[in-house]
Structure 1
């Protein structure tokens, strides 16, 4: 039986810097039956993009349209594609040669040729050409990565890693062109719900990180966060109780996970909505038992040799981790960061200090590196003599199964309170200590 045709779709706007590398990586696929469709979304670069595309002649199919955004370019290609499968390749990224072949093999092995396939990916730093591996399975259980909606809700899918059977477009439609920055996740959510999802835990694509990327520019950032927030509220409203339980074991855990995720990503409307839903959910019966387990796990990381915890990297991932630990009665004493612009910054009255200041307490502090790619920072800290260093990825493996304490976020729903005031902070700390005393009481009885 001949291999099904796969359509590799490359939308491009002003692609003079990287388009040739993207097309070459598509042509280098070891899977034998592909077509390459390049859609020029109204580039204004004096014909440079068109010149590159036309130089490939009949090796590709090339279309030009007025500028309308990436969703419009992708939709044109979907209408033009002849393949049984759709595979998106951004003009500034690249496929590894085995991308399509490995995904088609996965479909054959699992016996469901309409399953949606996604994979890990590598990141290429455009400045120094360093490559970093991103293995999602190191952060999340395999069953979660193949849950039909978990990868979408958790934001771990890279659109270029997907391989999609054309029947899914016929079933749910194409990209929503009114969405300028979230058209991909809007479609993935509609498309992946209740469908078989396959996850390949190896990098099949190379994602280039560079300053020209649209969502990284300051002019687009506020709009991007607002559109993301609105989209995520819609996701939560659409999910069934069964779907919530399938992701995090209970609605209680799900809403809190989403609260931390959205707050770390500065999606204000979404995290307020998730917190409201969280406060309305029932507390699990095993809360105390799992809080004690987490406390013991944290203690064992340093054999009980430390009294303090510092989160290294005061960004999106660091804030998510802080919210997770705080909600589970684990005190964070400081943030730290290599960026001097963050030193002195207060987050919930937690100061961000320099690595040099952190070093003064290195023998008494557990450092948790909270970034998507922690390898280099872990090396930095260990080479500087920090004896107790771990990562958010390692902590997450335990946090995943530990419910939060509901009161921690309850004040967020009350308007008119100055959360930085001494009275409020004293009240919170007193309540925190009371819950700790209760946990220690039960810990003492169990021993």
Structure 2
């Protein structure tokens, strides 16, 4: 690796032979040139490794994990391999705006030691047009939560698919992604990170997601429901000591379990809320809708209700 490289982009990939070139080429097109790209193939069963390896650029290295272990393990392998001061994470089905790295480096190099990472606005890949990034409203942590020890436990709308650039030293301090999680490993990491670092939003659409793929982890409800139970166990002390957190986390766990078809686990979550007198009208209606309706009808109804202000 050359001494001029400032940032390593890590793409974990599994069975993406048809689209891996799209994400890789979005890195190659970057206006900022001091990058290294690590493509971590998580033991794909198709031609992903061969396709990625065929892309000719000395800044690109394609590695393969020893066994299929999930995106968290693949990202960790890349992080451990990286030696640059900054790391950016890109999903194999997403792509960067050509100026993603330029704006990310400018932002993260302007921060002080209290900031551990930056994140950007997210657009839909179907509507993507190259050109000047569009300014937009990007989520920021509400001030009322900033006083808490782990503020992202209270509210978090940042994930690894949100144009994340992280200081390598943050991984040294916080640790890596939890490899036992096959979803929401980014939620778990950012909650832990928020005890020590702030995140800096960049108010531009600089990453674009492919929302048409059927196997995105964001719609794998069983994996997400399991992950949230693990996170809740890790953060149990803080959650049990806060009415706000108990309501927030058990309610989300409840509807995620209904989404995954696990009415038994959803009922256990509801019973916790009811026992602590936290089951308000919204929670009660959500619970009985989940019990009565089919999984598909409940998901459709809940998504509509979630859009209401």
TM-score by length of 2: 0.73
Q: What do the CA deviations read for 1:103-150 (whole angstroms, capped 9, x no partner)?
A: 2222344434853222321133xxxx346x98454xx76536978844
For the aligned residue pairs, the C-alpha RMSD in angstroms reads 3.9
Q: Distance in 2 between matches of 1:103 and 1:145?
A: 25
Where do residues 300-379 of structure 1 align in structure 2 (5 Å cutoff)?
Answer: 323=282, 342=297, 370=305
The DSSP-based 3-state class of the residue aligned with 1:44 is: coil
**Cross-structure match for 1:284:** none
Does the CA-based 8 Å contact 1:144-1:151 persist in structure 2? no
Whole-Å separation in 2 of the counterparts to 1:167 and 1:182: 22
Provide closer, same or farther for how the CA distance between residues 27 and 265 of structure 1 changes in structure 2, counting only shifts above 3 A.
same
CA distance in 2, matches of 1:202, 1:276: 44
Q: Tell me the distance in 1 between the aligned counterparts of 2:146 and 2:200.
A: 6
Aligned with 2:78: secondary structure?
helix
Distance 1:62 1:144 in 2: 44
TM-score of the pair, normalised by structure 1 = 0.53
The change in CA–CA distance for 1:44 and 1:150 in structure 2 (over 3 A counts) is: same
Unaligned runs of 5+ in 2: 129-133, 259-265, 287-295
Query: 1:230 is paired with a residue of what secondary structure?
Result: helix
Computing the radius of gyration over CA atoms, which structure comes out larger, 1 or 2?
Answer: 1
* Contact 1:121 1:204 (8 Å CA) reproduced: yes
Q: Offset of 1:81 from its aligned partner?
A: 0.7
Report the Cα distance in structure 1 between the residues aligned to 2:186 and 2:111, rounded to whole angstroms. Answer: 26
- Relative contact order: is structure 1 or structure 2 higher (C-alpha 8 Å, sep ≥ 6)? 2
Pairwise CA distance, 1:151: 4.5
State the SS of the aligned residue for 1:198: strand
Alignment of 1:47-446 (within 5 A): 47-65=47-65, 66-112=67-113, 114-124=115-125, 129-130=126-127, 135-137=137-139, 143=143, 149-151=150-152, 153-160=154-161, 161-215=163-217, 221-238=221-238, 251-266=242-257, 268=266, 272-273=271-272, 276=275, 279=278, 323=282, 342=297, 370=305, 392=308, 395=309
Bigger mean CA offset, 99-108 vs 166-175: 99-108
The structure in which a higher percent of residues are helix is 1
Question: In 1, are the aligned partners of 2:224 and 2:256 still within 8 Å (CA)?
Answer: no
